[in-house]
């Protein structure tokens, strides 16, 4: 864990290091086995010990996690053999046709009631766009959907396919605000049910088809392809397949946008997140993302890194999660609540320290000249 400005307090009251002044926080280790587990596989066992209460954090959890991340920089000069060992120990689950539904259900089928407690009204579970820093979370999620639609240059009557639609907010926004027809794919039964119900209630059922299926089964041709927060869960082995799906789905003048958590540098992913929170997840580097685009010659027009916007989004989520503390406890046990607190705080720390990035990538087909002359239009009219 490097050498963060943190005071470790052992089960017997011993303090390590002895010399530290004004630590960011205190880590209480309740038993000896937890110390050994931390030494063996810190990423995985930190989370597990935190959840069962044998590791407790005194002080601001986000600040403590930021201090740990800052002490272990992205560019490590650690032994490559050790890196390889952890990589193998903590490698991500695969996302075959068979395993993807299990992986997705693990996370999303916790229940809509839980997510409703701390997400915005539209249930958007991806990075918001705070076009000005003082926006509320609700406003910033709408601003994000606006920003994406603007980048996609949607016209009324066009068709859009969305891969990984969550609770369907973007599809509803696109249909409502831009008059486009949307087919939106998602593997989570509960999310699809929720999305269909809301589209019906808002009179958008004729505009949106929510489909409970894998992105690999997308059929038809569309004027725009959009995927927000799915690539992280597609798995590296499937980027070329995703590229093929886009290739067969996009019209010659079609526009595409992929919005994904990413990283500056490839390396082992956080094992606890992958094993306990998001099985099969992997945040790719820009180089790795090119596996989607390059084989079919897709032309990247624009990449925007919205890292600090995800930090801000997570601040909102975490604060709301804590405000709804009692309601959360009525739905889940202590260990679950701890796990989600650590996941939200750890993700926030990941974005503030640069462990994680948020890439929004706009692309077209090769040689397509029907593209905006500059990006000024994204920032006109009071945006």
**Residue 227 near residue 163 (C-beta atoms within 8 A):** yes
**Residue 212 near residue 187 (C-beta atoms within 8 A):** yes
- Please, what is the angle between helix 239-249 and helix 286-293, to 10°? 40
The yes or no reply on residue 299 touching its own copies (CB under 8 A) is yes
Residue closer to its own copies by CB (options 180, 356) is 356
The yes or no reply on residue 379 touching its own copies (CB under 8 A) is yes
The yes or no reply on residue 319 touching its own copies (CB under 8 A) is no
The yes or no reply on residue 21 touching its own copies (CB under 8 A) is no
* Strands 222-228 and 250-262, sheet pairing: parallel
Which residues have a Cβ under 8 Å from the Cβ of 382 and sit 6 or more positions away? none
Output the furthest CA–CA distance in the chain (Å, rounded).
69
Q: What is the phi/psi pair of residue 133, to 5°?
A: -65, -20
**14, 294, 322, 334: which one binds its own copies (CB under 8 A):** 294
Residue closer to its own copies by CB (options 325, 383) is 383
The DSSP-derived string for 275-317 is IIISTT--PPBHHHHHHHHGGGT-EEEEEEE-HHHHHHHHHHH
Stretch touching its own copies by CB under 8 A, among 14-22, 57-65, 195-203, 282-290: 282-290
The yes or no reply on residue 134 touching its own copies (CB under 8 A) is no
The yes or no reply on residue 368 touching its own copies (CB under 8 A) is yes
**293, 310, 317, 343: which one binds its own copies (CB under 8 A):** 293
The yes or no reply on residue 290 touching its own copies (CB under 8 A) is yes
**138, 212, 264, 315: which one binds its own copies (CB under 8 A):** 264
Strand partners, 47: none
Q: What does the alpha-carbon distance between residue 353 and residue 73 come to, in Å, rounded to a whole number?
A: 9
**133, 326, 333, 381: which one binds its own copies (CB under 8 A):** 133
Could you give the 3-state DSSP secondary structure of residue 237? helix
Stretch touching its own copies by CB under 8 A, among 19-27, 193-201, 332-340, 366-374: 366-374
- Window 51 to 70, contacts with its own copies (CB under 8 A): 70
Give the interface with its own copies as residue ranges (CB under 8 A).
70, 73-75, 129-133, 264-266, 285-287, 290, 293-305, 307-308, 352-355, 357, 366-369, 371, 373-376, 378-380, 383
């Amino acid at each position: 864990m490097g050498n963060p400005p943190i005071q470790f307090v052992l089960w017997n009251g011993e303090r390590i290091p002895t010399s530290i002044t004004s630590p960011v926080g205190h880590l209480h280790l309740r038993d000896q086995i937890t110390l050994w587990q931390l030494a063996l596989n810190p990423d995985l066992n930190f989370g597990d010990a935190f959840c069962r209460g044998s590791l407790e954090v005194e002080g601001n959890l986000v600040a403590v996690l930021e201090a740990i991340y800052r002490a272990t920089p992205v560019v490590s000069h650690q032994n490559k053999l050790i890196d390889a060992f952890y990589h193998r120990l903590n490698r991500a689950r695969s996302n075959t046709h068979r395993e993807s539904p299990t992986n997705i259900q693990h996370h999303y089928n916790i229940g809509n009631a839980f997510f409703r407690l701390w997400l915005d009204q539209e249930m958007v579970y991806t990075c918001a766009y705070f076009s000005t820093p003082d926006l509320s979370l609700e406003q910033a999620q709408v601003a994000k959907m606006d920003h994406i639609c603007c980048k996609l240059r949607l016209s009324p009557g066009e068709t859009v396919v969305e891969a990984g639609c969550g609770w369907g907010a973007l599809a509803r926004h696109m249909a409502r605000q831009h008059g486009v027809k949307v087919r939106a794919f998602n593997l989570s039964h509960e999310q699809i049910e929720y999305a269909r119900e809301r589209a019906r209630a808002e009179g958008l059922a004729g505009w949106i088809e929510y489909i409970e299926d894998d992105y690999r089964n997308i059929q038809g041709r569309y004027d725009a392809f959009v995927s927000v927060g799915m690539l992280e869960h597609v798995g590296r082995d499937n980027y070329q397949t995703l590229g093929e799906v886009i290739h067969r789905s996009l019209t010659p003048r079609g526009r595409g946008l992929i919005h994904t958590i990413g990283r500056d540098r490839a390396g082992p992913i956080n094992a606890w997140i992958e094993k306990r929170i998001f099985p099969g997840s992997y945040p790719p580097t820009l180089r790795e993302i090119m596996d989607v685009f390059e084989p079919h010659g897709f032309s990247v027009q624009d990449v925007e890194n919205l890292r600090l916007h995800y930090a801000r989004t997570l601040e909102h989520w975490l604060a709301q999660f804590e405000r709804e503390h009692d309601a959360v406890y009525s739905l889940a046990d202590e260990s679950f609540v701890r796990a989600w607190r650590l996941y939200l705080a750890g993700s926030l720390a990941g974005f503030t320290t640069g462990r994680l990035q948020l890439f929004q990538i706009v692309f077209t087909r090769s040689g397509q000249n029907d593209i905006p002359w500059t990006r000024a239009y994204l920032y006109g009219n009071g945006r």
